[in-house]
Chains A and B, each alone.
Chain A
Amino acid sequence: GENVEQHPSTLSVQEGDSAVIKCTYSDSASNYFPWYKQELGKRPQLIIDIRSNVGEKKDQRIAVTLNKTAKHFSLHITETQPEDSAVYFCAASDAGGFKTIFGAGTRLFVKA
């Protein structure tokens, strides 16, 4: 069946450093890739998404890259801050964004 692999499961960085989370997906029909951030005790919230017609998208300190050939996509956070500490989930779905397959999550710690 479809699956999304996410690495690493835990990531610890120093404030100001960059963080990179990588995902791979199995369903070649996937063409929508959202990223969610879940802070402790809160709901998952969409922080950025990318569709298969582009290779990169940036929003302030976060960016996402997509390599459809290799079925890889990554989240990049630059100049990390303590408030970036959370669990981040990658996901892949079809064009309608209906059935969404999530990765297992990456727990990011940003040390002040």
Chain B
Amino acid sequence: EAGVTQFPSHSVIEKGQTVTLRCDPISGHDNLYWYRRVMGKEIKFLLHFVKESKQDESGMPNNRFLAERTGGTYSTLKVQPAELEDSGVYFCASSHGAKNIQYFGAGTRLSVL
């Protein structure tokens, strides 16, 4: 069974540019989560999808961040325009079932210069 995959693994962009991160959850997992870890700090919750619907987006920093999950399969997280403080590792996770154990992707390291 394929795990959660994220693309790209690393992105370096300049302040003001746009970046789109992609996450492919484990097949059949209805729940999809986005997290961000700034160096040395906690893995911070951004939002949670159930299928294609945003269940909780209370962790999204501001309106420069837009997450979508059209069709309830893969998800994208777009940052437009990127700022220096957006740098960090963006993790995606997916889960399914009553126990709701979250399986993480390897993350996308975003560097905004």
Contact = CB atoms under 8 A, between A and B. Distances in A.
A79 B3 CA distance: 30
B102 A46 contact: yes
A104 B41 CA distance: 5
Interface string A32-57: 00101000001111100100000000
Interface residues of B, number: 26
Contacts, number: 57
A46 B106 contact: no
Nearest to B105: A43
B48 interface: yes
Contacts of A49: 101
Interface stretch (A14-22, A70-78, A94-102): A94-102
Contact of B42 (A4, A98, A99): A4
B45 interface: yes
Contacts of B45: 99-102
B91 A44 contact: yes
B97 to A, nearest CB: 10
Contact of A104 (B42, B56, B91): B42
A98 B95 CA distance: 9
B15 to A, nearest CB: 26
11 contacts: A6-B42, A34-B101, A89-B42, A97-B100, A99-B45, A99-B58, A100-B102, A102-B35, A102-B43, A104-B41, A105-B42
Interface of A: 4, 6, 9, 34, 36, 42-46, 49, 89, 91, 96-105
Interface of B: 3-4, 31, 33, 35, 40-45, 48, 55-56, 58, 91, 95, 99-107
Given A96-B100, A98-B55, A102-B45, 20 more contacts: A6-B42, A9-B40, A34-B101, A34-B102, A42-B106, A43-B3, A43-B4, A43-B91, A43-B105, A44-B43, A44-B91, A46-B103, A89-B43, A97-B101, A98-B31, A98-B56, A100-B45, A102-B35, A104-B40, A104-B41
